Amino acid sequence: MIYTTHSESETEALGARFAAKLAPGTVAALYGDLGCGKTAFVRGMARGMGIAGPVTSPTFTIVNEYDGPRPLFHFDMYRLGGADELFDIGWEDYLARGGVCAVEWSENVPGAFTGDEVTVRFAKTGDNDREITIEGGPGLC
């Protein structure tokens, strides 16, 4: 499905609707360039999963963990050189923990995915407009 948003808060709201029904263990692979709204979307996912508190960019730490009814693991692969380095950040361990994994910059780690993931692609269609394509998953709430 293709969705269009016109502001950061609309992108966040879409993220909330997207995450509301996601099963534990779901991997959401996010694709899109700098400034496309990926972190805003994941912030919305956290809200949709009943997680309060600040959701900030994980670029520096690679992964931020958020506790909630379903835990959310927010990855940013921006600084990773390839799938080899997934091992060093404990990717397999996170998969085994049964939370929802939201993965920014999935472009950088094709080896992380098995085909079971939900794919979310972000494209800028204007300064504030975004086209967000979601493939797989249970659909929006």
Contact positions toward another protein, by CB under 8 A?
8, 33-35, 39-40, 43, 54, 56-57, 59-65, 78-81, 84-85, 87-90, 124, 127
Q: How far apart are the first and last CA of the chain?
A: 13
- Which CB atom, from 64 or from 106, has the smaller least distance to another protein? 64
CB of 108 to another protein, least distance (A): 10
**Would you say 31 or 78 has its CB closer to another protein?**
78
CB of 85 to another protein, least distance (A): 4
Smallest distance from another protein to CB 42, Å: 10
60 versus 135: smaller Cβ distance to another protein: 60
Residues 6 or more apart whose Cβ sits within 8 Å of residue 45:
15, 16, 18, 19, 22, 28, 72, 100, 102
Radius of gyration (C-alpha) of the chain in whole angstroms: 14
Query: What minimum distance in Å lies between the beta carbon of 138 and another protein?
Result: 27
Length of the chain equals 141
Sequence-distant (≥ 6) Cβ neighbours of residue 99 within 8 angstroms: 24, 25, 65, 70, 71, 72, 73
**Would you say 21 or 79 has its CB closer to another protein?**
79
